[in-house]
Amino acid sequence: MKVGYLGPVDSFTYSATTFLFDKETTAAYPTIVSCLKNLESGNIDYAVVPIENSIEGTVNQTLDFIFHHSTHLIQAEVILPINQNLMVHPNFSEEWRGIDTVRSHPQALAQTQEFLSEWLPEAKQEVSDSTTQAAEWLYDNPNKKMGAIASKEAAVRYGLSIVKEKIQDIPNNQTRFWVLGKEALKKGSLKKELCRQTMTVSMKQNQPGNLHKILSAFSWREIDLTKIESRPLKTKLGDYFFLLDIKAKDSFLIDSAIQEIEALGGTVKNFGSYDVYLKKI
């Protein structure tokens, strides 16, 4: 079995991956899309990718790829506490306030905007494919007056100095990661938090009451929606699909809600029913 993830080693996605899988089975990919494409082409059996953060919200790259291209289902979810750290090359640990650029994954930059605007208001913000990739870049460029935002583990791996820890805008920062694959994945040894089902719904055209009709199919059956979000369909301005997360209890009730939505002209795409696991620090 081979499990792909957004790497390199010590990215937050790596931490979510090794919570469920042996390190020996894992393979790092440089971007979310390359990881998901390798799943589609059969080079790996599962892909682990971030989907949502408590500060910055949905990871659109992940959602869009799954909606438009994926033939796999979500088989599990891991929720991970996320502590972001500002690190520099040890050459600059005394004068870190003078760094002119901070690099990280866009999600990590977004999670630390309050810190950056207070402590490094003049520094440029540059994006990297993952937090660890930014740390690796600092290691490769010891003479640049730059900082990276990444995990503690990444700082240790690349011999960088953490100058401020836990710099995310809220203390209880968490990210959800989805494990996609063809085969069901049950981790009997781990306590699951809940079962979730995720689907998208799109309606043929914008008509009054469309969203109300979708929601009422769930509400009168007392099905608990935990998230709803709209994303562009990428057809033309004003066309959207809706992403729905549901607390999965009774699959018969959910199936009948889907039938009702389809009878109303909606197109439903099932992303999967899966167990959710919480990793504690």
Ligand X SMILES: O=C(O)C(=O)C[C@]1(C(=O)O)C=C[C@@H](O)C=C1
| Unique residue bearing structure tokens 């990210």 | 175
Out of 12, 46, 65, 241, the only residue in the binding site for ligand X (CB under 6 A) is 12
Interface segment toward ligand X; rule CB under 6 A; list 5-13, 86-94, 158-166, 218-226: 5-13
| Unique residue bearing structure tokens 């240790």 | 156
Q: Is 85 in the site for ligand X (CB under 6 A)?
A: no
- The smaller minimum CB distance to ligand X, of residues 6 and 162, is found at 6
Nearest distance from residue 229's CB to ligand X, in Å? Answer: 16
Q: Is 18 in the site for ligand X (CB under 6 A)?
A: no
Residue 110 to residue 58: CA distance in whole angstroms: 12
Q: Which helix (H) or strand (E) holds 138?
A: helix 131-140
CA distances from 106 to 42, 63, 103, 134 (A): 28, 16, 9, 11
Helix 32-40 to helix 60-69 angle (10° resolution) is: 20
- The smaller minimum CB distance to ligand X, of residues 8 and 266, is found at 8
- Output DSSP code: residue 90: G
List the x/- string, 125-154, binding to ligand X by CB under 6 A. Answer: -----xxx----------------------
Query: How many other CB atoms are there within 10 angstroms of residue 46's CB atom?
Result: 25
Interface segment toward ligand X; rule CB under 6 A; list 10-18, 36-44, 71-79, 269-277: 10-18
List the x/- string, 90-129, binding to ligand X by CB under 6 A. Answer: ---------------x-xx---------------------
- Name which of 163, 156, 72 is nearest 115 in CA terms: 163
Q: What is the contact surface with ligand X in residues (CB under 6 A)? A: 6, 11-13, 50, 53, 59, 82, 105, 107-108, 130-132, 175
